[in-house]
Structure 1
Amino acid sequence: MFLSVIIPAYNCEKTIVRAIKSTGVYLNNQIEVIVINNGSTDNTEMLIKKERKSNKNIIYAESENGVSNARNKGIEMSRGNWITFLDADDCLQNLDNKLRKLLLNIGEGLVIGNYLAGKSIINLYSMTKNKDNCSSIINQMLKNPTKYMTVWGKFYRNDLIKKENIRFNNQLKYSEDSEFLIRYVLLCKQIQFINDNVYNYTLSKDSTVRSYNPQMIYEYEKAIFQIKKDLNKYPEYENSFKIFILMQFNLMMVHNVFIKDNKESIVKLKELCKKDYMNNALNIVKVKDIFTPRLLPLLLCKYHFYVFAASIYKLRVIQNNKNTK
């Protein structure tokens, strides 16, 4: 088997059939699709089993609740030389002969494609400098996690995952993608980019990350500390990891603290900025970063201009809401 596509499925009756068909499983008998029902209460199970009846390479399984448990179950069942992950409301694209040929010529490596996010093309191929240098690529990933550090849109060697026992950390509720990817790329001998869109990501106001969760900050912090532990033996990534922390902080602000705009929001912003891990990370932000949109609110936080930083985060919440309508 050439490729295993792993799809966690939870209450996705409107999109699961489209996701399965996008894998090319009906056109290529060297592709298997492993769909893991993750506690669905709608018609998801029935639809998957209906597709399974018409193609023996569509495999149905169940796991304990949680996307990490579902993906880990898929890894255990996979038979393909390569693994890729697909969310049930998204689609794969361009799994053509060019990609197949590329995968055939790579050993213990990672292949990364461009992707569509809504109507925007995220061209990782053009964004990435020093594509032949794994260390440089990992630094770029850490500095721009929202673009790079998704588990989907990438192709992983199954034998490397299983040999090194790389699995999703089911204790993490957020950034489990990033943590899995970091552990994988630290073991990679080669990272290859393909200048094609291989994935179509659906911007959804119903996604977990875009929904308010009072535990979100605690969960993001837990992931930050775990990734820090993963990188302990690699001092060359220390500065890039600090930028990763700052980018995660931006997510906390936009997806949690300022979703419910009230007097407590600025209090929470100040409180988080005073934590040791944030203080440490804020030290790398310089005045020259004032023209860098991602770093501007963080620069304001560093110099205690919290009201101005809060205004930027409020605007970003409004913009996010517009993008997902």
Structure 2
Amino acid sequence: MTTDKNPLVSIIVPVYNTQVYLERCIKSLLNQEYPNIEIILIDDGSSDNSLFICEKYQTDDRVVIIHQENSGVSMARNNGLDRARGDYISFVDSDDFVSPYFISHAVGEIEKHDADIVLFDFYQIKSGKSVLPVPDFHKKYKNELRKGNINIKKLLIADFVPNYMWNKLFKRSLWETVRFPVQYKYEDLFILIHVLDRANVIVYLPERLYYYNRDNVNSITSFLSIMQPFTRYCHFKALYERYDILSSVSWGET
């Protein structure tokens, strides 16, 4: 759906017990420079005030609210994908927030190259006030990232570059028959390989557009969560399946 030559971008936001951070997240999305967005907030059966916070913004016609029984982030994202109407898809975690140029600069880059995916940089937030740069993968793999396409695919599949959903903008067509697995954690690792396999053009935008919150102890990427046996098992299984797929993929020219 396009308005005044601005393609519609669907921003999918799973919400679960993030009342401390949620308002900051929503406000950063509503403050986007880019005009044509829909913000899909999926409340995953929160037991705190998260749903109430979401409903405060339902009078804004850019905001869509979905409520589901507690089923996990994968089901929430899948419900968001089923509802999304955009030409492009982005994902945001409800304890994070974004730059005002999060969508406008990503759309500009993806359309400039007629790409399927644009990958961009991000900050990490620690102790509430400190803004820390991520590990310098953008410097370590600078040449590969600039070349794009197959080079970026290899870095993502090998997990040398983070496989987060939220530091990327996707063409909607990549998700037509692809959905997140609901039985595992590390769902990003499980699903991204299938999305990458459909992408012909992948580009890298060396700009920090996303603020990744490392203070939320309930996040899957927190130390306490990572050390859980099932989480560690899912991480291993996702990587094992990924390298199995990698061995059967024809990469073509670099």
- Decide whether aligned partners of structure 1 residues 139 and 30 sit closer, same or farther in structure 2, where only a CA change above 3 A counts: same
Residue 232 of structure 1 and its aligned partner are, at CA, apart by 4.6
**Larger strand fraction of residues:** 2
Residue 45 of structure 1 and its aligned partner are, at CA, apart by 0.7
- Decide whether aligned partners of structure 1 residues 27 and 195 sit closer, same or farther in structure 2, where only a CA change above 3 A counts: closer
1:3–1:81 CA contact under 8 A, matched in 2 = yes
- Decide whether aligned partners of structure 1 residues 215 and 109 sit closer, same or farther in structure 2, where only a CA change above 3 A counts: same
Partner of residue 209, structure 2: 198
Q: TM-score by structure 2 length?
A: 0.81
Q: Supply the distance in 2 between the matched residues of 1:144 and 1:96 (Cα, whole angstroms).
A: 24
**Which amino acid counterpart does residue 179 of structure 1 have in structure 2?**
F
The range that moved more, 215-224 or 67-76, is 215-224
Residues 212-251 of structure 1 mapped to structure 2, 5 A cutoff: 212-234=227-249
2:189–2:239 CA contact under 8 A, matched in 1 = no
Point out where structure 1 has 5 or more consecutive residues left out of the alignment. Answer: 237-325
- 3-state DSSP of counterpart to 2:102: coil
| Larger of the two Rg values belongs to structure | 1
1:151–1:180 CA contact under 8 A, matched in 2 = no
Residues 149-228 of structure 1 mapped to structure 2, 5 A cutoff: 149-162=163-176, 165-174=177-186, 176-204=187-215, 206=217, 207-209=219-221, 210-211=223-224, 212-228=227-243
Q: From 135, 148, 156, give the equivalent of 2:150.
A: 135
Point out where structure 2 has 5 or more consecutive residues left out of the alignment. Answer: 2-7, 126-130
Percent of pairs with identical residues = 25
- Decide whether aligned partners of structure 1 residues 25 and 6 sit closer, same or farther in structure 2, where only a CA change above 3 A counts: farther
Residues 1-325 of structure 1 mapped to structure 2, 5 A cutoff: 1=1, 2-24=8-30, 28-53=34-59, 55-64=60-69, 65-93=71-99, 94-95=101-102, 97-107=104-114, 109-118=116-125, 119-122=131-134, 125-126=138-139, 127-130=141-144, 131-145=146-160, 147-162=161-176, 165-174=177-186, 176-204=187-215, 206=217, 207-209=219-221, 210-211=223-224, 212-234=227-249
Q: Supply the distance in 2 between the matched residues of 1:16 and 1:98 (Cα, whole angstroms).
A: 23
Q: Supply the distance in 2 between the matched residues of 1:27 and 1:134 (Cα, whole angstroms).
A: 28
Q: Supply the distance in 1 between the matched residues of 2:179 and 2:21 (Cα, whole angstroms).
A: 26
- 3-state DSSP of counterpart to 1:8: strand
Report how many residues are paired.
Answer: 232
- Decide whether aligned partners of structure 1 residues 61 and 205 sit closer, same or farther in structure 2, where only a CA change above 3 A counts: closer
Q: Supply the distance in 2 between the matched residues of 1:106 and 1:77 (Cα, whole angstroms).
A: 27
Residue by residue, what CA displacement relative to the aligned partner does 1:213-268 show, whole Å, maximum 9, x if unpaired?
A: 232333223323332443352276xxxxxxxxxxxxxxxxxxxxxxxxxxxxxxxx
1:9–1:37 CA contact under 8 A, matched in 2 = yes
- Decide whether aligned partners of structure 1 residues 139 and 26 sit closer, same or farther in structure 2, where only a CA change above 3 A counts: closer
RMSD of aligned residue pairs (Cα, Å): 2.4
- 3-state DSSP of counterpart to 1:234: coil
- Decide whether aligned partners of structure 1 residues 40 and 125 sit closer, same or farther in structure 2, where only a CA change above 3 A counts: same
The range that moved more, 16-25 or 117-126, is 117-126
Residue 27 of structure 1 and its aligned partner are, at CA, apart by 5.7
Residue 140 of structure 1 and its aligned partner are, at CA, apart by 2.0
Residue 13 of structure 1 and its aligned partner are, at CA, apart by 1.1
